[in-house]
Structure 1
Amino acid sequence: MSKKVKDQEMSFKFIWTPKNVVMNILKWILIVFFAVYTLFPLIWLVITSLKTNAEYFANPFSLPAVPQWQNFTNAFTQANLGQMIWNSVTVAFVGTILNVVVASMASYAISRFRFRGREIIFAAFSAGIMVPLNALMVPYFTIFSKIGLIDNLMSLRILYASIGLPISMFIIRGFMDAFPVEIEEAAIIDGCGFYGRFFRMILPLVKSGLVTAGTFQFITCWNEFVYANLLTSSPKLKTIQIGIRYFTNQFTTDYVSMYAAIVIAIIPSILIYAIFQKNVITGLTAGAVKG
């Protein structure tokens, strides 16, 4: 091993001084605190979903005497979660695909073409990130009422694809701006057409950006509650997030079955992020290091 490598290893070794020990202890206390703060509600939710209602009311923080797996069966039978999950899947996938397709085309136009007002257009789209979605409930409801899409899943698909455009364009355009123009110019010289450059060159090279935008969009579509409750009224058109409240009525609440439904509802979001975690991290950190 060379002397330079040994010197580099020595530089990363922990030096036992009182100040460093205190700072290291504080660092780990902070890490453990945020880990517990983040994971405890999820762990408590899973444990509680395996209790009986009597155990839950007797001691909310105790372990179940016997795991009640039938709570998950009850969650499906009482609220028709199967149909609601299917509605959420179709809405989330269609909304995500529409969003990524439109955002990628718009980002390419703004990134590559030089025309008057392009930065103003991009700034107008980006400003949508800062607009509270609940502030637009009345305009959205009025628009979908006029075009006859109230109580129709297509309204949710269109709406979710639209409200996710600002963040998706912001992410994807950053990748396209980092893509060297010279490569595209070389493709033009070789006779590659517009659609060939876009579909066979640009999209594969900005795949991390597309996956990042698509992951955030899917999670947003899956977890959205307000507009799903506003624009749909038929039980057969409700999404999974709406189904969770069906365990509460005027007189009683089946808490453990409701918690089981919540566990079922959050599993797809966790799986999607776990599958595409590497791409998401790459997408968020792209451009952080130059050179």
Structure 2
Amino acid sequence: MKNVLMHKVDFKTKAGKVLMWIVLIFFLFYTLMPMVWLVISSLKTNTELMGSPFSLPSKLRFENYANAFKVSGLGILFLNSIIVSLGATFLNIMIASMASFVLSRFEFRFREAIFSLLVIGILVPINSLMVPYVKIINKLGIYDTRFALILVYSAISIPISTFIIRGFMKTIPVELEEAGTIDGCNFYQRFFKIIFPLSRTGIVTAATLQFLYCWNEFIYSMLLTSSQSVRTIQVGIRYFSNQFTTDYTSMYAAIVISIIPSLIGYITFQEQIISGLTSGAVKG
């Protein structure tokens, strides 16, 4: 009887593992299939794409990637996205880390209320702020500039960045900061030499999420720019498809190129992102 029960338990365990792998493989296929199809389609001719969308190309057309740069001016769009994403990420992290330092290391009245009010911004739909942001940018006279995008992107993600970084800063022992004070560190030295370096896991997590958001953002980039010289790559691809409606393969090549930085960024900092979201973000 005991052997029969153990056999049933073992069978259920194996069946559960098989079911788990089936589900995981299904979602893997579901996630990767569009990307694989996109890459294959970018290496076809337009005739092959229209005639047989799911077949392999008769010849790999890498010239589609060269055409994506030549025809649509993808180079300047790519450069704009890099400048805006890095600039917004730097500004966002500096502001969020300074706010997190004050909200995690100092005791003062209404501290938790201020933090709660700030974190509520995570729940506000980004698209609901379009009109205020556009009006503010126009009032400042910086419409159709990279600085406008940097300013808006950095402001949008301050709540989530502060939430993540503050969780890590609260875990740093107070004794380290007290030792720095005894050694003569002032307010800024305690932040830049002690707290900021020790919070790098949370900072890297917030910075990676911020960069990915800036790189892939479309709505505000479309609203706050009107000339190709300052457009980001996501908006540029939209205009590419409107203007060159028959050259789908080059457009797909441009999309593949636009995805590469996001993949590189996530793969590079994958461990920091996972550890940051599962540890520091839930503390405090």
Q: TM-score, normalised by structure 1?
A: 0.91
Equivalent pair of 1:247/1:257 in contact (CA under 8 Å)? no
Structure 1 residue 63: deviation in Å?
0.8
- Pairing 1:266–2:259 present: yes
**Residue 163 (structure 2) aligns with:** 170
Structure 1 residue 20: deviation in Å?
1.5
Percent identity reads 55
Structure 1 residue 124: deviation in Å?
1.4
**Residue 56 (structure 1) aligns with:** 49
Equivalent pair of 1:247/1:255 in contact (CA under 8 Å)? no
**Residue 102 (structure 2) aligns with:** 109
**4+ runs of 1 displaced by more than 6 Å?**
none
**Residue 222 (structure 2) aligns with:** 229
- Unaligned segments of structure 2, at least 5 residues: 1-6
SS in 1 for 2:242: coil
Cα offsets for 1:72-124 (capped at 9, x unmatched): 01111111000011111100001000000000000000111111111111111
User: Partners of 2:244 and 2:150 in 1: how far apart?
Assistant: 35
User: Partners of 2:141 and 2:264 in 1: how far apart?
Assistant: 35
Segment drifting more, 173-182 vs 14-23: 14-23
User: Partners of 2:180 and 2:238 in 1: how far apart?
Assistant: 55
Structure 2 counterpart of 1:66, one-letter code? K
User: Partners of 1:131 and 1:83 in 2: how far apart?
Assistant: 33
User: Partners of 1:96 and 1:105 in 2: how far apart?
Assistant: 14
* Pick aligned residue for 2:82 from 73, 89, 102: 89
User: Partners of 2:280 and 2:70 in 1: how far apart?
Assistant: 49
**Residue 202 (structure 2) aligns with:** 209
Segment drifting more, 139-148 vs 189-198: 189-198
Equivalent pair of 2:176/2:194 in contact (CA under 8 Å)? no
Equivalent pair of 2:165/2:280 in contact (CA under 8 Å)? no
User: Partners of 1:78 and 1:235 in 2: how far apart?
Assistant: 13
Structure 1 residue 15: deviation in Å?
9.6
User: Partners of 1:201 and 1:270 in 2: how far apart?
Assistant: 32
RMSD (Å) for aligned C-alpha atoms: 1.9
Equivalent pair of 1:168/1:213 in contact (CA under 8 Å)? yes
- CA spacing shift, 1:168–1:57, aligned 2, 3 Å: same
Aligned residues: 277
**Residue 147 (structure 2) aligns with:** 154
Equivalent pair of 2:164/2:281 in contact (CA under 8 Å)? no
- Unaligned segments of structure 1, at least 5 residues: 1-13
Cα offsets for 1:219-266 (capped at 9, x unmatched): 101110000000000111111001112333378332111110000001
Structure 1 residue 135: deviation in Å?
0.9
**Residue 45 (structure 1) aligns with:** 38
* Pick aligned residue for 1:26 from 19, 29, 34: 19
User: Partners of 1:247 and 1:130 in 2: how far apart?
Assistant: 33
Q: TM-score, normalised by structure 2?
A: 0.93
- Pairing 1:120–2:113 present: yes
